[in-house]
């Protein structure tokens, strides 16, 4: 993912809209029609795109959802003279914005099927489709039951000034300390967005497991998990889409940049917690975790290279991070690459936390790498 998205518009259109009017229309009957909002990842690898398809009936499963396509030349994913990119529906969620039977659909992107010299060439994932290789790897280790939990940190920005929300204009708030898990005006900023997001995720069926205010003011975290296999990537991407849609209603910008404010301000991470059937089972689980850590150490550089764009600005060895140049691990150590919980050596089983991924991580990439390195190498 690249740096913060800078939107080109300067007018505050949203503030001209009377928010009391839309609910009248949302309440109208739909006579059986279902709006399906297909959501996919665009060409930067971090931009989320979506469009609506009307269905004549409620799909029972993802198999009932039609293939669809979009203009890949507008998302940096195809040339204009061969612009069709195909969408395959992968997971259905309830739509917290439209309500009723309407749905959100996580989809991924493919080249169209082709007929070349009478030979049928099937749909191939486009180069930026990171879900497809992840699904392949997860398929190989179903028996190990990989569970993931990602801690998604993010920062809210004033959409006009691009400065963190609630910070003095052209200035800085008091130093870090009081803001983490805080309550109170001036400490916890724009909690309405966090609450709306939590409830919307419950409604949608995203496996959100908690929220908290973070160390830097205007920075928040939510956790998704534990999720089995592919659900981690699907649910995290959908949770981000829902967050962007909610923030849009408030005309507030969300950034997943790993270090939105340079200097003595915490960056934003995307810690990935991981366990397998073997690590969760005593008494061998703790030993199994140590084996995983040994394998992760050997592939540190491979992981770091794919753990988020701009992560080098965050992984400095300060602000509860490890240096990106060294691999380290420790029990209860928040300055290490890998942290093992206090209870693991006691219970002889459990999970561990990879603290290296940044907030703009691609969960399809991070979960694939964890499984590849620890289970398939
Ligand atoms: P931290 O103490 O690092 O802030 P959090 O409570 O924010 O930790 O996040 C812990 C994450 O670990 C959650 O996403 C949770 O779903 C996940 N988790 C819990 N148990 C397991 C497990 N057995 N395997 C994988 N992930 C797990
Ligand atoms: Mn058009
Ligand atoms: Mn956390
Ligand atoms: Mn955190
Ligand atoms: Mn953590």
pLDDT at 8 over 80: no
pLDDT interval class at 327 (50, 70, 90): very high
Contact 72, 85 (CB under 8 A): yes
Pinpoint the alpha helices (H) of the chain.
22-26, 131-140, 191-204, 231-249, 285-298, 300-305, 343-347, 363-371
Say if residue 18's pLDDT is above 90. no
pLDDT tens digit sequence for 21-58: 999 999 999 999 999 999 999 999 999 999 999 999 99
For residue 4, what pLDDT is reported? Answer: 46
CA 370 to chain centroid, in Å, comes to 16
Tokens encoding 73: 């030349």
Q: How confident is the model at residue 170 (pLDDT cuts 50, 70, 90)?
A: confident
Statement: residue 339 has pLDDT above 90: yes
Report the chain's mean pLDDT, rounded to a whole number.
94
Q: Which atom of ligand 1 is nearest to the CA of 207?
A: 16
pLDDT at residue 10 is higher than 60:
no
* pLDDT(79) > 80: yes
The alpha carbon of 130 and the centre of ligand 2 are apart by a number of angstroms equal to 27
For residue 214, report the distance from its CA to the centre of ligand 5, in Å: 11
Neighbours of ion ligand 5 (CB under 5 A): 151, 271
On the question of pLDDT at 6 being above 60, the answer is: no
Residue 83 Cα to ligand 2 midpoint, Å, equals 12
Q: What is the pLDDT of residue 2?
A: 42
Q: Is the pLDDT of residue 15 over 80?
A: no
Q: Which atom of ligand 1 is nearest to the CA of 355?
A: 3
pLDDT of residue 181: 98
ipTM of the complex: 0.98
Kindly report the protein residue whose alpha carbon is nearest to atom 19 of ligand 1: 226
86 contacts: CB under 8 Å, gap ≥ 6? 67, 68, 69, 109, 110, 111, 112, 123
pLDDT band at 12 (very low <50, low <70, confident <90, very high): low
Residue list, ligand 1 pocket, CB within 6 Å: 147-149, 151, 209, 223, 225-226, 271, 273-275, 280, 351, 353
Mean pLDDT for the stretch of residues 86-96 = 98
pLDDT of residue 82: 87
Query: Which ligand gives the minimal distance to the CA of 267?
Result: 4
Residue 243, pLDDT > 70, answer yes
* pLDDT, position 13: 60
**pLDDT tens by residue, 111-121:** 998 888 988 88
Choose between 245 and 82: higher pLDDT. Answer: 245
Are the C-beta atoms of residues 70 and 47 closer than 8 Å to each other? no
Name the residue with higher pLDDT: 6 or 41: 41
Please, what is the end-to-end C-alpha distance for the chain in angstroms? 27
- Ligand closest to CA 354: 5
CA of 227 to the centre of ligand 4 (A): 18
Looking at residue 19, its pLDDT comes to: 82
User: Any idea which ligand is nearest the CA of 224?
Assistant: 1
Predicted pLDDT of residue 16: 72
Ligand nearest to the CA of 319: 4
- 103 versus 9: which is more confidently predicted? 103
Angle at 270 between CA 97 and CA 234, to 5 degrees: 45
At 43 the pLDDT is: 96
Percentage, residues of the chain above pLDDT 70: 96
Q: How far is the CA of 17 from the centre of ligand 3 (A)?
A: 36
Q: How confident is the model at residue 206 (pLDDT cuts 50, 70, 90)?
A: very high
Q: Residue 295 Cα, ligand 4 centroid: separation in angstroms?
A: 25
For 245-348, list the strands marked E by DSSP: 252-255, 272-275, 329-331, 338-340
pLDDT digits (tens, 9 = 90+) for 256-314: 999 999 999 999 999 999 999 999 999 999 999 999 999 999 999 999 999 999 999 99
């Amino acid at each position: 993912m690249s740096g913060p998205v800078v939107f080109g518009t300067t007018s505050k259109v949203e503030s001209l809209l009377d928010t009391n009017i839309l609910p009248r229309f949302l309440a109208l009957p739909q006579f059986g029609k279902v709006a399906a909002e297909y959501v996919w990842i665009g060409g930067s690898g971090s931009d989320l795109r979506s469009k609506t398809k009307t269905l004549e009936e409620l799909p029972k499963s993802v198999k009932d959802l039609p293939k669809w396509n979009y203009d890949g030349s507008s998302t940096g994913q195809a040339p204009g003279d061969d612009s069709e990119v195909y969408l395959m529906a992968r997971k259905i969620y309830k739509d917290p914005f439209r309500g009723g039977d309407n749905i959100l659909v996580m989809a991924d992107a493919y080249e169209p099927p082709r007929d070349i010299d009478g030979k049928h060439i099937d749909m191939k994932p486009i180069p930026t489709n990171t879900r497809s290789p992840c699904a392949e790897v997860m398929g190989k280790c179903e028996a190990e039951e990989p569970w993931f939990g990602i801690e998604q940190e993010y920062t809210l920005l004033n959409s006009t000034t691009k400065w963190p929300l609630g910070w003095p204009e052209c200035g800085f708030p008091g130093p870090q300390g009081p803001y983490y898990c805080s309550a109170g005006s001036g400490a916890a900023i724009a909690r309405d967005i966090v609450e709306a997001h939590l409830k919307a995720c419950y409604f949608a069926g995203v496996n959100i497991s908690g929220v908290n205010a973070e160390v830097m003011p205007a920075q928040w975290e939510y956790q998704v998990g534990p999720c089995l296999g592919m659900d981690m990537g699907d649910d995290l991407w959908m949770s981000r889409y829902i967050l962007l849609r909610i923030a849009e209603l408030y005309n507030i910008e969300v950034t997943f940049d790993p270090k939105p404010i340079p200097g003595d301000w915490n960056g934003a991470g995307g810690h990935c917690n991981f366990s397998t059937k073997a690590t969760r089972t005593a008494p061998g689980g703790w030993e199994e975790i140590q084996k995983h850590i040994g394998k992760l150490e050997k592939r540190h550089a491979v992981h770091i290279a794919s753990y988020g764009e701009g992560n080098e600005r965050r992984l400095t060895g300060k602000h509860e991070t490890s240096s990106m140049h060294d691999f380290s691990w420790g029990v209860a150590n928040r300055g290490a690459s890998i942290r093992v919980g206090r209870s693991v050596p006691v219970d002889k089983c459990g999970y561990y936390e990879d603290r290296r991924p940044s907030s703009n991580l691609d969960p399809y990439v991070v979960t694939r790498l964890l499984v590849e390195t620890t289970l398939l190498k």
